[in-house]
Amino acid sequence: MTGEQVLVIGAGVQGLTCGVVLAEAGWPVRIRTEDRPRATTSAVAGAMWGPAQLRPAEPVLYWVTRSHAEFTALARDDTSGVHLCAGRMAARFDLGDAVPTEARLIPDLRRCTPDDLPEGFTSGYRGTVPLIDMPRYLDHLVARFRDAGGDLQLSPVPTLADAAAEASTVVNCTGVGARELVGDPGVHPVRGQHVVVRNPGIDEYFVELTDSGEFTSYMPHGDRVVLGGVAEAQEWNRVVRPAVSAGIRRRCAAIEPRLGEAEVLEELVGLRPGRESVRVEVEHYEGARIIHNYGHGGCGVALSWGCAFEVADLAEG
């Protein structure tokens, strides 16, 4: 910890979590963001803590493990937007017996019996995981950041040189925006769309495990349920597509008929920051240390606490 100002760029889940960890460690922190927290991709996410099959494999395992502990603790706080939820992760093919290492963190993980699988699904697991109601959770992070003395400004950062001129330590959490800010052509959008409905009484989640661009997921958060999903690579369009929403509802209703009739509250689009591997590393640039933290794909929430603690370690030098 020093008295030196840190500039965090971005107020999605990564930027805000880094802001909280750094500010609570005593750093003076300013976050500059182009979009309000509730207008980021992070606000669109479902969101579920779950196994993260991303690269680099070893740090990702550490980040997702560390985050599981934080989210489990946050679930004890009613105001955080996090709760522990039972449900199923299922596939239309045989998942085999091997489970990702981090799945062992799920205390009650067990294979679904054939009776526990929806029609068309071949195998799956049942278990309790943290579910994160993102709009509420981002509000919680903003409040926690401000309570720790952090300063949040709605002000885009035009170039890394501007950031380096403002602070000697910069944390770059710009998600898909890193493509332009850093000039990293490896960052690409993976478009997602959600339909949010009034909860007709659902208290378990369902997530389809697949590599396909279309899948079925629903996650209850109190009076709302977030329905998904799609993953459209290289697609920048943020406009809601009615046909995609209709497909999402149809697939969800096939598993949970009550979702077919539920009142639609909103439809949302977000761009997952795809990259071959997550980038958490220091770059020395125009006299400043830029700590990059972007490219978390479809797992940015699940990795957020682990990445933020790693960023804080890098800031400490």
Ligand X SMILES: Cc1cc2nc3c(=O)[nH]c(=O)nc-3n(C[C@H](O)[C@H](O)[C@H](O)COP(=O)(O)OP(=O)(O)OC[C@H]3O[C@@H](n4cnc5c(N)ncnc54)[C@H](O)[C@@H]3O)c2cc1C
CA end-to-end distance (rounded Å), the chain: 10
Whether the ω angle into residue 47 lies within 30 degrees of 0, i.e. cis, is: yes
State the minimum distance, in angstroms, from the CB of residue 238 to ligand X.
Answer: 10
Q: CA-based diameter of the chain, in Å?
A: 61
Q: Which of 254, 202, 209, 244 is nearest to 226 (CA)?
A: 202
Cβ-contact 297, 181 below 8 angstroms: no
CB of 285 to ligand X, least distance (A): 15
CB of 112 to ligand X, least distance (A): 20
Q: Which one, 194 or 221, has the nearer CB to ligand X?
A: 194
Distances (CA, A) of 127 to 88, 89, 252: 6, 8, 19
Q: Which is nearer to ligand X, 119 or 216 (CB)?
A: 216
How far, in Å, are 79, 85, 134, 153 from residue 75 at the CA level? Answer: 9, 10, 13, 28
* Contacts with ligand X, residue ranges (CB under 6 A): 9-15, 32-35, 40-42, 44-48, 156-157, 173-177, 181, 192, 194, 228-229, 270, 272-273, 294, 296-302
- Residue 132 Cβ vs ligand X, minimum distance, rounded to whole Å: 7
Residue 249 or 272: which CB sits closer to ligand X? Answer: 272
Output DSSP code: residue 48.
B
Count CB neighbours of 278 within 10 A.
Answer: 24
- Between 11 and 112, whose beta carbon lies closer to ligand X? 11
Residue 22 CB, nearest distance to ligand X (Å)? 15
- Residue closer to ligand X by CB (options 47, 170) is 47
